[in-house]
């Protein structure tokens, strides 16, 4: 017989967890003791939401991540991180405490039951599974359910609330494994897909972040090359296909460039959507005049299929990778040769270059300069704001799986924590966070977590003294902005230094080059690069209606 806390942490170890993220509190002390005993490092975050972000970033690279929050506010602070992980389909286990199961119904401080802050009910809307472990003998089944929900199918965050007295109960030990995902169900419509692709005269691939989720990079590339299909990506699908590939059209939607629009204007007959809900951000600039004649839609979740675009659709349900492998097998049996004219669309970037001044840079040029000096295999997490939409348009992708951005939930500042988790999960990789001054105001203190962990994450902070995306969108909508600029600017360089990070202040492209060069040599902690960007520059986000 072993304590519930012991059995739980032994299973976390078995699942490959080396780090858990959180902030201590009385209700979860038994878990902290067991983490220490089993050589799982507890990473002290600066806010529970930051812990949840870090756990989700860790999960994207490690397969599953864990964040701990104490009862009451410790749990409610994790709610935003859960919503963000759900949008990323990041398999994250969120464990919260509760003072005492046996005293439920009595007045308790930080009560997380139905008599206080009902955390189980609160987490239901932002997770795939939320349950309370009321007795030790419930842990085995509830933990199995949680791990299954987190790591198979749609994937995403799950939540368990475990009272402190339950953690100290003794139970028979058990083991939980991540289910074998190789048994993915394959659609029975694959032959129809092959037939439609063989018959298509002017097809296009439209890739979403579901390609990241299934890691179907090679399968997507094969599909494009076999049928010679041009490729465009959604904002969240950025990083799923190399932008220097001859078939790449670049990004479409919010932050997109001109090439995919011009290609769509030439009357596409078959669009193959892979791993996208086709949200308003993905379809920004997509008018009825450029609708394709037909869609093939690969996605695990049927909820939004044929909702955004009223176009005849062949839906292929299931894991993207498994279905694309089957497409390849069927097409090899078919052996029909496909020939298309080489793709050639002239670049026509209508964003006017802004010359360097003594005070600021063009954000567009800053992105290009950053890309020029970072290693090609750097993993970049884009935060929510205009800074990342500049990157969606101008940041080159050389290796798939090296750019992550969420175009659904959109928590400002989440990438600061995600980059911490990703770096701990992949210490051999260069991990970069592209964020803004508004995001840094919200969750910038998590940089101190990277300092404590000696993590050489590179933080690039675009500072234009405003909530730029909101500011420019409001100006277009109503002619002026309300409450979107700061009366007192954040001094990012001083702020970073106060947290213990190495920091650089950049106003020219040469400053960026020097800062990245030094950051890549720094193995002793994070580097923060404050890049002063022109507050009057128009970001590529105004095609959203």
The count of other CB atoms within 10 Å of the CB of residue 340 is 14
Structure tokens at 299: 């996605």
167's CB contacts (< 8 A; 6+ apart) are: 3, 4, 5, 8, 28, 30, 31, 97
Phi and psi of 504, rounded to 5°?
-135, 145
8 A C-beta contact, residue 135 and residue 166: yes
Three-state DSSP class for 218? helix
| DSSP category for residue 343 | P
* DSSP 3-state of 385: coil
3-state secondary structure 316-339: EECCHHHHHHHHHHHHHHHCCCCC
- Tell me the CATH number for domain 185-334: 3.40.50.1220
Q: In whole angstroms, what is the distance from residue 296 CA to residue 283 CA? A: 16
Distance CA 235, CA 378 (A): 18
Distance CA 353, CA 358 (A): 16
Beta-strand pair 170-171/2-3: antiparallel
What is the separation of C-alpha 350 from the centre of its chain, rounded to a whole number of angstroms? 29
Report the alpha-carbon distance of residue 334 to residue 326 in Å, rounded: 12
Q: Phi/psi of residue 60, each to 5°?
A: -60, -25
Q: What is the DSSP string of 360-376?
A: -B-HHHHHHHHHHHS-T
Enter the tokens of residue 240.
């799923």
* Residue appearing with tokens 């930080």: 110
Q: Are 131 and 161 in contact (CB under 8 A)?
A: yes
Maximum Cα interatomic distance, the chain, rounded to a whole number of Å: 74
pLDDT for 346 equals 61
What is the pLDDT tens value at each position of the chain, 545 positions in all?
999 999 999 999 999 999 999 999 999 999 999 999 999 999 999 999 999 999 999 999 999 999 999 999 999 999 999 999 999 999 999 999 988 767 677 777 677 778 788 999 999 999 999 999 999 999 999 999 999 999 998 899 999 999 999 999 999 999 999 887 555 678 899 999 999 999 999 999 999 999 999 999 999 999 999 999 999 999 999 999 999 999 999 999 999 999 999 999 999 999 999 999 999 889 988 888 999 999 999 998 889 898 899 999 999 999 999 999 999 998 876 656 565 655 666 655 544 444 556 688 999 999 999 999 999 999 999 999 999 999 999 999 999 999 999 988 999 999 999 999 999 999 999 999 999 999 999 999 999 999 999 999 999 999 999 888 888 888 888 888 888 889 999 999 999 999 999 999 999 999 999 999 999 999 999 999 999 999 999 888 877 65
Q: What are the tens digits of pLDDT across the range 467-517?
A: 888 888 888 888 888 888 899 999 999 999 999 999 999 999 999 999 999
Total Cβ atoms within 10 A of residue 228: 15
Domain ranges of the chain: 2-172, 185-334, 363-532
Residue given tokens 């702020």 in the structure block: 495
**Of 12, 400, 415, nearest in space to 214 by CA:** 400
CATH superfamily of 363-532: Thiamin diphosphate (ThDP)-binding fold, Pyr/PP domains (3.40.50.970)
Rounded CA-CA distance 337/372 in Å is 38
State residue 145's pLDDT score. Answer: 97
Taking the C-alpha atoms of residue 209 and residue 59, their distance in angstroms, rounded to an integer, is: 15
Q: How far is CA 361 from CA 70, 134, 263, 472, 531, in A?
A: 44, 57, 32, 18, 8
Of 390, 386, 389, 391, the residue nearest 374 (C-alpha)? 391
Angle at 192 between CA 191 and CA 194, to 5 degrees: 65
What single-letter DSSP state applies at residue 1?
-
Of 512, 518, 523, 499, nearest to 423 (Cα)? 523
* CA distance linking residue 417 with residue 50, whole number of Å: 5
Q: What is the pLDDT of residue 354?
A: 46
Fold (CATH) for 2-172: Rossmann fold (3.40.50)
Give bridge partners of residue 22 from the DSSP assignment: 44, 68
């Amino acid at each position: 017989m072993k304590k519930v806390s012991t059995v739980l942490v032994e299973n976390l170890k078995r699942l490959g967890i080396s780090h858990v993220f959180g902030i201590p509190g009385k209700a979860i002390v038994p878990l902290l003791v067991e983490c220490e005993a089993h050589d799982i490092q507890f990473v002290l975050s600066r806010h529970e939401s930051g812990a949840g972000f870090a756990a989700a970033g860790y999960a994207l690279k490690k397969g599953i991540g864990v964040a701990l929050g104490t009862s009451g506010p410790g749990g409610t602070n994790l709610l935003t991180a859960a919503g963000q992980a759900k949008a990323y389909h990041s398999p994250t286990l969120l464990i919260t405490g509760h003072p005492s199961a046996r005293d439920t119904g009595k007045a308790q401080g930080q009560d997380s039951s139905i008599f206080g802050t009902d955390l189980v009910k609160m987490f239901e809307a932002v997770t795939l599974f939320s349950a309370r472990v009321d007795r030790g003998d419930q842990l085995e089944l509830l933990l199995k359910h949680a791990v299954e929900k987190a790591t198979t199918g749609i994937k995403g965050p799950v939540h368990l609330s475990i009272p402190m007295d339950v953690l100290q109960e003794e139970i028979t030990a058990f083991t939980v494994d991540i289910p074998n995902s190789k048994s993915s169900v394959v659609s029975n419509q694959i032959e129809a897909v092959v037939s439609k692709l063989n018959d298509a005269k002017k097809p296009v691939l439209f890739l979403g972040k579901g390609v990241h989720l299934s890691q179907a990079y090679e399968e997507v590339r094969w599909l494009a090359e076999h049928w010679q299909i041009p490729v465009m990506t959604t904002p969240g699908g950025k990083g799923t296909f190399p932008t220097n590939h001859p078939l790449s059209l670049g990004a479409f939607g919010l932050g997109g460039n001109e090439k995919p629009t011009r290609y769509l204007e030439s009357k596409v007959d078959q669009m193959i959507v892979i791993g996208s809900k086709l949200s308003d951000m993905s379809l920004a600039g997509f008018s009825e005049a450029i609708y394709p004649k037909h869609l093939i839609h690969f996605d695990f979740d049927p909820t939004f299929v044929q909702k955004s675009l009223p176009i005849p659709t062949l839906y292929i349900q299931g894991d993207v990778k498994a279905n694309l492998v089957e497409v390849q097998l069927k097409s090899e049996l078919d052996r029909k040769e496909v020939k298309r004219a080489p793709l050639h669309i002239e670049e026509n970037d209508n964003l006017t270059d802004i010359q360097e001044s003594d005070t600021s840079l063009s954000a567009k040029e800053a992105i290009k300069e950053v890309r020029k000096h970072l290693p090609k295999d750097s993993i970049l997490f884009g935060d929510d704001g205009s800074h990342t939409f500049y990157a969606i348009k101008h940041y080159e992708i050389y290796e798939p799986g090296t750019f992550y951005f969420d175009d659904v939930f959109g928590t400002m500042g989440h990438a600061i924590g995600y980059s911490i988790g990703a770096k701990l999960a992949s210490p051999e990789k260069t991990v970069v966070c592209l964020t803004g001054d508004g995001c840094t105001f919200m969750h910038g203190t998590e940089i101190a977590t990277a300092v404590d962990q000696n993590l050489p994450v590179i933080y690039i902070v675009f500072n234009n003294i405003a909530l730029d995306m909101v500011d420019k969108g409001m100006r277009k909508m109503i002619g002026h902005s309300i409450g979107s600029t700061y009366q007192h600017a954040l001094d990012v360089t001083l702020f970073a230094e106060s947290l213990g990070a190495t920091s650089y202040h950049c106003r020219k492209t040469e400053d960026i080059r020097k800062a990245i060069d030094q950051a890549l040599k720094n193995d002793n902690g994070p580097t923060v690069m404050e890049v002063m960007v022109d507050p009057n520059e128009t970001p590529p986000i105004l095609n959203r209606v």
